[in-house]
Structure 1
């Protein structure tokens, strides 16, 4: 007598993959938890990399400029030196479609406080208009001569509250305000007036930030500015950010890529091993199905269903935990930022699904190669 009609009727009524997985809820929960922890490692490592890039490019990302003008051949601020003629901003402002153009002075130096020293970007800007400076002053006011704005994370690390003295280029400057988002694991940002920058370093135009009046696309505006300023490099803000991210990524590629790769391989190994173990633990159930006449595709479908359930639940749990960590970590370590992206979640999910299918289907493939009676006996 064939058991196939019984199996077919059972298949229509009962979602076997989910039923087998959660028949033992404790075991199912442990499997999901193990996979989720592995995926959390991948998400956190990638969020650390993305967060570091976002911090390094925070100044230009949050700028209100549409176009950035720099010295010919210079495409970044990070690890770069740019010098432009003093009249560059005036020439850029005269281009049709330009709403405003402001010069910015920039150099890399260090800031000292009572509790230590940090590498810093020193930016001199027009404090009257505020253009070229921080997007927002969190506490205090814009700086004048002998004064500076310090990032709040650096202020906390160096013990530099408003009213204290920060030493920049060997000169003590009174901290009159705090900004945010400009401190990474490698450096911070200090803002001073253009006049104070000239006193500290030299009268300099490093970059010119240009904003359009909205009549033209950023790329069209950049082309018009480039035509008016031969011998300079003109980029849209997005192009400048991409150049910054690329140079920072190249500098840290060995460490971050190695961390990501090792973490990813470990996670995939854990996922494959975990789902293989889960399948082996339920091999008796699959032996019963085979003894009832289930074809190989039915066994594979049941296991695939389990992998989909486990991966889906684990990705959800890992993503929620990663988002929570991205909010908590900056509170404990202000210089560290975690940025969880949709691309990272999708990549982790695809990798986990592939590794899980390989690990889970191997035992079933071996079981499918023997006859039904042997499969039932070997699974007992």
Structure 2
């Protein structure tokens, strides 16, 4: 029986796609476009938030001590340096250190001024506050007056290794360029604690205060438990203790709520998906209407509408699958271009899979919507 032949569903769907690929191309591109739109926006959003928490995410210390009112890592307020010695009294703390952030004015050799944030690190490769991407640069900051900037900010600051500049009227020398330490909210200039003290020589209280106290815990210790122990040790009115993951997560959530970017991303993504669904549905509907005579012939041969519907649904699934593959290649190319241009862009495997699933579901859903034209086919009307 013809109704039992497998080519009526699977093979026919693939053969039609291959033979009439130009007819299906707009639908494939619409699925790919929707996924690219969603992933590019997601990549830019997560990349931007990643620059907000770049210090937290790149510094290996598992515990952070901040001012009690801190809601995000970019909201800094001074706390006593003596807290570093206090948290070392916990047996699970192997080492502690301080991390200071100070606003300053950068003046390049050509006279250009830029507002920057000084980040004072310990000039040791294994220090708890040395970021992972700067393991080779941290020891280079030991020399007084030495600074490092991220490569993506070098042109704006007029900074190259060996060049001189001024920070608040004090001469400094650029000794290195880092990678992956860009912040969207400010321009980081990395230096040592000693150099920062020299730059703040007129502030008598500066040496007694810092922005963060960081702790590195012993292997096998639970960061959450140690955090809770330190919260009992430190007065609530003086400081607040965070795990690294908690501070990073809460900082991103704070920016998501306060900046309004999250609502804009949700709106634009939803709009893009709706446009893709409409375009894909219309493309598939046009394809089906263009093939009504062929479907009428199959129905006249005794092929039930249910079997023909499977052909349409499988065509939609193939369109979604091919569109997803195209989307992945385009987004990977966009990510490479963004990295080359120093644009913050984060692409995760989970995001790729979710976007692919949405694209496939969009195509199949559009195919189901397009079935109305198939069910209205009357062979006698088309074969007269």
TM-score range, shorter chain: 0.7 to 0.9
For 1:17, the equivalent position in structure 2 comes to 13
- Which 4+ residue blocks in structure 1 deviate beyond 6 angstroms? none
Change (3 A) 1:138 1:90: closer
For 2:90, the equivalent position in structure 1 comes to 95
1:134 equivalenced with 2:131 (yes/no): yes
Change (3 A) 1:367 1:266: closer
1:354 equivalenced with 2:361 (yes/no): yes
1:297 equivalenced with 2:293 (yes/no): no
For 2:176, the equivalent position in structure 1 comes to 177
For 2:203, the equivalent position in structure 1 comes to none
1:123 equivalenced with 2:133 (yes/no): no
Mean alpha-carbon deviation: is it higher for 39-48 or for 257-266?
A: 257-266
Deviations 1:315-353 (A, max 9, x none): 11211221122122221x22x122222333233233333
Deviations 1:286-314 (A, max 9, x none): 33333333333322221111111111111
Mean alpha-carbon deviation: is it higher for 316-325 or for 115-124?
A: 115-124
Mean alpha-carbon deviation: is it higher for 229-238 or for 124-133?
A: 124-133
For 1:155, the equivalent position in structure 2 comes to 154
Deviations 1:117-140 (A, max 9, x none): 555432112224643133225668
Change (3 A) 1:257 1:165: farther
Deviations 1:50-88 (A, max 9, x none): 11122222211111111111111314222x122222210
For 2:285, the equivalent position in structure 1 comes to 276
**Preserved contact between residue 280 and residue 363 of structure 1 (Cα < 8 Å):** no
Counting only pairs closer than 5 Å after superposition, residues 257-276 of structure 1 correspond to structure 2 as 257-276=266-285
For 2:62, the equivalent position in structure 1 comes to 66
Secondary structure in structure 1 of the residue aligned to 2:37: helix
Give the paired residue count.
370
With normalisation by structure 1, the TM-score equals 0.86
Secondary structure in structure 2 of the residue aligned to 1:174: strand
Secondary structure in structure 2 of the residue aligned to 1:15: helix
Once the 2 structures are TM-superposed, how far is the Cα of residue 207 of structure 1 from its aligned partner?
0.8
User: Which of 220, 223, 229 is the matching residue for 1:218?
Assistant: 223
Mean alpha-carbon deviation: is it higher for 48-57 or for 345-354?
A: 345-354
Q: Which runs of 5+ in 2 are unaligned?
A: 201-205
Instruction: Give the root-mean-square deviation of aligned CA atoms.
Output: 2.8
Q: Which runs of 5+ in 1 are unaligned?
A: none
**Preserved contact between residue 111 and residue 168 of structure 1 (Cα < 8 Å):** yes
Secondary structure in structure 2 of the residue aligned to 1:234: strand
Change (3 A) 1:266 1:368: closer
Mean alpha-carbon deviation: is it higher for 110-119 or for 193-202?
A: 110-119
Mean alpha-carbon deviation: is it higher for 267-276 or for 206-215?
A: 267-276
User: Which of 240, 243, 250 is the matching residue for 1:243?
Assistant: 250
Counterparts of 1:81 and 1:25, CA distance in 2: 58
